[in-house]
Protein backbone atom coordinates (compact mmCIF):
# COMPACT_ATOMS: atom_id res chain seq x y z
CA UNK A 1 0.00 0.00 0.00
CA UNK A 2 1.42 3.37 -0.94
CA UNK A 3 1.56 6.38 1.33
CA UNK A 4 -1.56 8.36 0.69
CA UNK A 5 -2.25 11.99 1.38
CA UNK A 6 -4.73 12.34 4.18
CA UNK A 7 -8.01 13.93 3.15
CA UNK A 8 -9.07 17.42 4.12
CA UNK A 9 -9.06 17.09 7.89
CA UNK A 10 -8.47 19.52 10.70
CA UNK A 11 -5.88 17.24 12.27
CA UNK A 12 -4.17 16.32 9.03
CA UNK A 13 -0.41 16.73 9.14
CA UNK A 14 -0.32 16.95 5.34
CA UNK A 15 0.61 20.22 3.72
CA UNK A 16 -2.46 21.44 1.85
CA UNK A 17 -1.81 21.03 -1.81
CA UNK A 18 -3.65 21.50 -5.08
CA UNK A 19 -4.27 18.05 -6.56
CA UNK A 20 -4.94 18.51 -10.25
CA UNK A 21 -5.02 15.91 -13.01
CA UNK A 22 -7.07 14.48 -15.83
CA UNK A 23 -9.12 11.55 -16.99
CA UNK A 24 -6.39 9.27 -18.34
CA UNK A 25 -6.26 5.97 -20.21
CA UNK A 26 -5.40 2.57 -18.75
CA UNK A 27 -4.92 1.00 -22.18
CA UNK A 28 -2.55 -1.97 -22.28
CA UNK A 29 -0.48 -1.41 -19.13
CA UNK A 30 -3.17 -0.35 -16.69
CA UNK A 31 -1.95 1.96 -13.95
CA UNK A 32 1.43 2.32 -15.65
CA UNK A 33 -0.19 3.88 -18.72
CA UNK A 34 -2.37 6.13 -16.56
CA UNK A 35 0.57 7.29 -14.48
CA UNK A 36 2.89 7.86 -17.44
CA UNK A 37 0.19 9.99 -19.02
CA UNK A 38 -0.23 11.87 -15.74
CA UNK A 39 3.51 12.49 -15.52
CA UNK A 40 3.48 13.83 -19.09
CA UNK A 41 0.98 16.48 -17.95
CA UNK A 42 3.04 17.42 -14.88
CA UNK A 43 -0.08 16.51 -12.91
CA UNK A 44 -0.26 15.09 -9.41
CA UNK A 45 -3.50 13.09 -9.47
CA UNK A 46 -5.66 11.33 -12.10
CA UNK A 47 -8.89 9.54 -12.87
CA UNK A 48 -9.44 6.24 -14.67
CA UNK A 49 -12.25 3.98 -15.82
CA UNK A 50 -11.26 0.42 -15.00
CA UNK A 51 -13.75 -1.00 -17.52
CA UNK A 52 -14.94 0.04 -20.92
CA UNK A 53 -18.03 2.21 -21.22
CA UNK A 54 -19.01 0.05 -24.17
CA UNK A 55 -19.71 -2.91 -21.92
CA UNK A 56 -18.31 -6.40 -22.07
CA UNK A 57 -16.25 -8.09 -19.43
CA UNK A 58 -13.89 -6.03 -17.33
CA UNK A 59 -10.18 -6.58 -17.73
CA UNK A 60 -8.92 -8.47 -14.64
CA UNK A 61 -7.71 -5.92 -12.12
CA UNK A 62 -4.66 -8.10 -11.46
CA UNK A 63 -3.43 -6.96 -14.92
CA UNK A 64 -3.28 -3.29 -13.88
CA UNK A 65 0.29 -3.50 -12.51
CA UNK A 66 -0.68 -2.30 -9.06
CA UNK A 67 2.66 -2.66 -7.30
CA UNK A 68 4.75 -0.94 -9.97
CA UNK A 69 2.03 1.66 -10.34
CA UNK A 70 1.88 2.55 -6.68
CA UNK A 71 5.63 2.95 -6.41
CA UNK A 72 5.72 5.02 -9.60
CA UNK A 73 3.09 7.26 -8.05
CA UNK A 74 5.09 7.60 -4.88
CA UNK A 75 8.25 8.49 -6.80
CA UNK A 76 6.44 11.14 -8.80
CA UNK A 77 4.36 12.69 -6.02
CA UNK A 78 1.02 11.54 -7.44
CA UNK A 79 -1.79 11.15 -4.93
CA UNK A 80 -5.38 10.10 -4.47
CA UNK A 81 -6.38 8.86 -7.92
CA UNK A 82 -10.08 8.41 -8.55
CA UNK A 83 -12.01 5.74 -10.40
CA UNK A 84 -15.10 6.66 -12.43
CA UNK A 85 -17.77 3.99 -12.63
CA UNK A 86 -18.98 2.84 -16.05
CA UNK A 87 -21.67 5.01 -17.67
CA UNK A 88 -23.68 1.86 -18.30
CA UNK A 89 -24.70 1.69 -14.66
CA UNK A 90 -28.08 3.24 -13.88
CA UNK A 91 -29.03 2.64 -10.27
CA UNK A 92 -32.35 4.46 -10.83
CA UNK A 93 -33.48 2.19 -13.64
CA UNK A 94 -37.05 0.90 -13.37
CA UNK A 95 -35.94 -2.16 -15.36
CA UNK A 96 -35.10 -4.97 -12.98
CA UNK A 97 -32.26 -6.43 -15.04
CA UNK A 98 -30.62 -3.02 -15.61
CA UNK A 99 -30.91 -2.20 -11.92
CA UNK A 100 -29.44 -5.56 -10.88
CA UNK A 101 -26.65 -5.16 -13.44
CA UNK A 102 -25.78 -1.78 -11.89
CA UNK A 103 -25.71 -3.26 -8.41
CA UNK A 104 -23.41 -6.09 -9.47
CA UNK A 105 -21.07 -3.82 -11.46
CA UNK A 106 -20.72 -1.31 -8.63
CA UNK A 107 -20.21 -4.08 -6.08
CA UNK A 108 -17.51 -5.57 -8.27
CA UNK A 109 -15.95 -2.15 -8.82
CA UNK A 110 -15.65 -1.66 -5.06
CA UNK A 111 -13.58 -4.87 -4.89
CA UNK A 112 -11.43 -3.81 -7.83
CA UNK A 113 -10.76 -0.35 -6.46
CA UNK A 114 -9.98 -1.67 -2.99
CA UNK A 115 -7.46 -4.00 -4.60
CA UNK A 116 -5.80 -0.96 -6.20
CA UNK A 117 -5.83 0.84 -2.85
CA UNK A 118 -7.62 3.93 -4.17
CA UNK A 119 -10.09 5.78 -2.00
CA UNK A 120 -12.80 7.06 -4.31
CA UNK A 121 -15.28 5.80 -6.87
CA UNK A 122 -17.25 8.52 -8.66
CA UNK A 123 -20.60 7.57 -10.19
CA UNK A 124 -23.59 9.22 -11.80
CA UNK A 125 -26.55 8.79 -9.46
CA UNK A 126 -28.90 7.69 -12.25
CA UNK A 127 -31.69 8.51 -14.70
CA UNK A 128 -35.35 7.95 -13.90
CA UNK A 129 -36.31 7.37 -17.57
CA UNK A 130 -39.86 8.58 -17.09
CA UNK A 131 -40.57 7.37 -13.56
CA UNK A 132 -39.91 10.73 -11.91
CA UNK A 133 -37.45 12.13 -9.47
CA UNK A 134 -38.94 10.69 -6.28
CA UNK A 135 -38.97 7.18 -7.75
CA UNK A 136 -35.34 7.54 -8.85
CA UNK A 137 -34.11 8.79 -5.50
CA UNK A 138 -35.76 5.88 -3.68
CA UNK A 139 -34.42 3.42 -6.25
CA UNK A 140 -30.82 4.70 -6.05
CA UNK A 141 -30.88 4.63 -2.25
CA UNK A 142 -32.26 1.07 -2.33
CA UNK A 143 -29.41 0.01 -4.63
CA UNK A 144 -26.81 1.63 -2.37
CA UNK A 145 -28.39 -0.10 0.61
CA UNK A 146 -28.00 -3.41 -1.19
CA UNK A 147 -24.38 -2.68 -2.10
CA UNK A 148 -22.94 -1.17 1.09
CA UNK A 149 -22.20 -3.36 4.09
CA UNK A 150 -20.33 -0.71 6.05
CA UNK A 151 -17.01 -2.53 5.83
CA UNK A 152 -15.92 -0.85 2.57
CA UNK A 153 -12.63 1.01 2.45
CA UNK A 154 -13.67 3.12 -0.53
CA UNK A 155 -15.99 6.10 -0.54
CA UNK A 156 -18.67 6.19 -3.23
CA UNK A 157 -19.00 9.72 -4.57
CA UNK A 158 -22.25 10.82 -6.15
CA UNK A 159 -21.51 13.18 -9.03
CA UNK A 160 -23.64 16.32 -9.30
CA UNK A 161 -25.31 16.35 -12.72
CA UNK A 162 -26.38 18.98 -15.27
CA UNK A 163 -30.11 18.26 -15.38
CA UNK A 164 -29.94 16.81 -18.88
CA UNK A 165 -32.25 13.98 -19.89
CA UNK A 166 -33.98 12.41 -16.92
CA UNK A 167 -30.94 12.47 -14.67
CA UNK A 168 -31.21 12.92 -10.94
CA UNK A 169 -28.62 14.26 -8.55
CA UNK A 170 -28.64 17.65 -10.27
CA UNK A 171 -29.55 19.80 -7.31
CA UNK A 172 -27.72 19.65 -4.03
CA UNK A 173 -31.07 18.84 -2.41
CA UNK A 174 -31.52 15.75 -4.59
CA UNK A 175 -28.05 14.52 -3.70
CA UNK A 176 -28.72 15.13 0.00
CA UNK A 177 -32.02 13.29 -0.33
CA UNK A 178 -30.31 10.20 -1.74
CA UNK A 179 -27.67 10.25 0.99
CA UNK A 180 -30.31 10.66 3.69
CA UNK A 181 -31.96 7.39 2.67
CA UNK A 182 -28.78 5.30 2.79
CA UNK A 183 -27.90 3.37 5.95
CA UNK A 184 -24.13 3.51 5.58
CA UNK A 185 -23.93 7.22 4.86
CA UNK A 186 -20.36 7.25 6.12
CA UNK A 187 -19.38 5.52 2.86
CA UNK A 188 -20.82 8.26 0.66
CA UNK A 189 -19.21 11.40 -0.69
CA UNK A 190 -19.90 13.90 -3.46
CA UNK A 191 -18.03 14.88 -6.63
CA UNK A 192 -18.90 18.33 -7.95
CA UNK A 193 -18.53 18.99 -11.67
CA UNK A 194 -18.12 22.63 -12.69
CA UNK A 195 -19.72 22.12 -16.13
CA UNK A 196 -22.70 20.29 -14.65
CA UNK A 197 -23.20 22.71 -11.76
CA UNK A 198 -23.09 25.78 -13.98
CA UNK A 199 -25.33 24.19 -16.60
CA UNK A 200 -27.84 23.18 -13.99
CA UNK A 201 -28.02 26.72 -12.64
CA UNK A 202 -25.49 27.20 -9.85
CA UNK A 203 -23.66 30.42 -10.62
CA UNK A 204 -20.18 29.26 -9.73
CA UNK A 205 -18.77 32.02 -11.96
CA UNK A 206 -20.08 34.99 -10.01
CA UNK A 207 -20.75 33.34 -6.67
CA UNK A 208 -18.70 30.21 -5.99
CA UNK A 209 -18.74 31.14 -2.30
CA UNK A 210 -22.53 31.09 -2.37
CA UNK A 211 -22.46 27.66 -3.98
CA UNK A 212 -20.12 26.37 -1.27
CA UNK A 213 -22.33 27.85 1.41
CA UNK A 214 -25.36 26.09 -0.02
CA UNK A 215 -23.36 22.89 -0.39
CA UNK A 216 -22.42 23.11 3.26
CA UNK A 217 -25.96 23.78 4.42
CA UNK A 218 -27.63 21.15 2.26
CA UNK A 219 -25.05 18.33 2.13
CA UNK A 220 -22.12 19.34 4.33
CA UNK A 221 -18.72 20.23 2.87
CA UNK A 222 -17.13 17.28 4.63
CA UNK A 223 -18.72 15.15 1.89
CA UNK A 224 -16.96 16.98 -0.92
CA UNK A 225 -14.28 14.45 -1.94
CA UNK A 226 -13.63 15.13 -5.60
CA UNK A 227 -14.16 17.80 -8.27
CA UNK A 228 -14.41 17.63 -12.04
CA UNK A 229 -13.02 20.78 -13.63
CA UNK A 230 -14.55 21.41 -17.04
CA UNK A 231 -15.62 24.46 -19.00
CA UNK A 232 -19.07 24.34 -20.61
CA UNK A 233 -20.05 24.62 -24.27
CA UNK A 234 -23.56 25.71 -23.30
CA UNK A 235 -24.84 28.77 -21.39
CA UNK A 236 -25.64 29.11 -17.71
CA UNK A 237 -28.74 27.15 -16.73
CA UNK A 238 -28.98 25.34 -20.07
CA UNK A 239 -29.37 21.88 -18.47
CA UNK A 240 -26.96 20.48 -21.06
CA UNK A 241 -23.83 18.42 -20.46
CA UNK A 242 -21.29 19.51 -23.04
CA UNK A 243 -17.76 19.88 -21.73
CA UNK A 244 -15.57 22.58 -23.28
CA UNK A 245 -11.84 23.10 -23.05
CA UNK A 246 -10.65 25.27 -20.18
CA UNK A 247 -11.14 28.94 -21.02
CA UNK A 248 -13.14 28.22 -24.17
CA UNK A 249 -16.61 27.94 -22.71
CA UNK A 250 -19.24 29.86 -20.78
CA UNK A 251 -17.48 29.43 -17.41
CA UNK A 252 -14.13 30.81 -18.48
CA UNK A 253 -10.56 30.56 -17.28
CA UNK A 254 -10.71 33.06 -14.44
CA UNK A 255 -13.64 31.41 -12.69
CA UNK A 256 -12.13 27.94 -13.11
CA UNK A 257 -8.80 29.18 -11.80
CA UNK A 258 -10.50 30.63 -8.75
CA UNK A 259 -12.20 27.30 -8.09
CA UNK A 260 -9.06 25.21 -8.57
CA UNK A 261 -7.12 27.46 -6.16
CA UNK A 262 -9.89 27.69 -3.58
CA UNK A 263 -8.72 26.50 -0.15
CA UNK A 264 -11.75 24.24 0.22
CA UNK A 265 -10.42 22.11 -2.64
CA UNK A 266 -6.93 21.65 -1.21
CA UNK A 267 -5.99 17.97 -1.06
CA UNK A 268 -9.14 17.07 -2.99
CA UNK A 269 -8.53 15.46 -6.39
CA UNK A 270 -9.59 17.83 -9.18
CA UNK A 271 -9.96 16.14 -12.54
CA UNK A 272 -10.23 17.56 -16.06
CA UNK A 273 -12.61 15.80 -18.45
CA UNK A 274 -12.25 18.14 -21.38
CA UNK A 275 -12.15 17.22 -25.07
CA UNK A 276 -9.21 16.83 -27.38
CA UNK A 277 -6.01 15.99 -25.54
CA UNK A 278 -5.09 19.50 -24.35
CA UNK A 279 -4.69 18.47 -20.75
CA UNK A 280 -1.10 19.57 -20.34
CA UNK A 281 -1.68 23.15 -21.45
CA UNK A 282 -5.00 23.32 -19.59
CA UNK A 283 -3.35 22.24 -16.34
CA UNK A 284 -0.59 24.80 -16.89
CA UNK A 285 -3.20 27.49 -17.50
CA UNK A 286 -5.15 26.63 -14.36
CA UNK A 287 -2.02 26.60 -12.22
CA UNK A 288 -0.68 29.82 -13.78
CA UNK A 289 2.40 27.92 -14.85
CA UNK A 290 4.44 29.07 -17.81
CA UNK A 291 3.19 27.39 -20.97
CA UNK A 292 6.57 25.89 -21.76
CA UNK A 293 8.27 22.77 -20.52
CA UNK A 294 9.55 23.96 -17.20
CA UNK A 295 10.31 22.11 -13.98
CA UNK A 296 7.12 21.24 -12.17
CA UNK A 297 5.90 23.60 -9.46
CA UNK A 298 2.58 22.21 -8.45
CA UNK A 299 2.00 23.90 -5.11
CA UNK A 300 1.36 27.44 -6.10
CA UNK A 301 0.21 29.64 -3.25
CA UNK A 302 -2.95 31.70 -3.70
FE1 LIG B 1 -19.04 11.77 -14.64
FE1 LIG C 1 -17.82 14.83 -14.56
ZN1 LIG D 1 -20.38 15.87 -17.87
Segment 137-156, tens digit of pLDDT: 999 999 999 999 999 999 99
Q: 19-289 has which fold?
A: TIM Barrel (3.20.20)
Catalytic residues: 54, 84, 87, 124, 159, 193, 196, 228, 241, 243, 273
Q: What stretches of 112-240 adopt beta strand conformation (E)?
A: 120-123, 126-127, 155-159, 167-168, 188-193, 224-229, 231-232
Neighbouring CB atoms inside 10 A of 168's CB total 27
pTM for this model (two decimals): 0.91
Segment 171-215, tens digit of pLDDT: 999 999 999 999 999 999 999 999 999 999 999 999 999 999 999
Q: Which ligand places an atom closest to the C-alpha of 158?
A: 1
Q: Which ligand places an atom closest to the C-alpha of 84?
A: 1
Residue 221, SS3 per DSSP: helix
Residue 195 Cα to ligand 3 midpoint, Å, equals: 7
Segment 282-302, tens digit of pLDDT: 999 999 887 655 444 454 444
Q: How confident is the model at residue 16 (pLDDT cuts 50, 70, 90)?
A: low
Domain ranges of the chain: 19-289
Amino acid sequence: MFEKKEPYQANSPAIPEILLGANVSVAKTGLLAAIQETISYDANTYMIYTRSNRGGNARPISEFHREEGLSLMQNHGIFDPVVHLSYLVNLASPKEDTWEYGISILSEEIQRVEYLGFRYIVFHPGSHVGQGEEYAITRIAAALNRILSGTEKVTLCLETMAGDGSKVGNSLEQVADIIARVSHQEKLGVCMDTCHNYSFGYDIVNDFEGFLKQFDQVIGLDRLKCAHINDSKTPFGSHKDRHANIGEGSIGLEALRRIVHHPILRNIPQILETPGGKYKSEINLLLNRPLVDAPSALSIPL
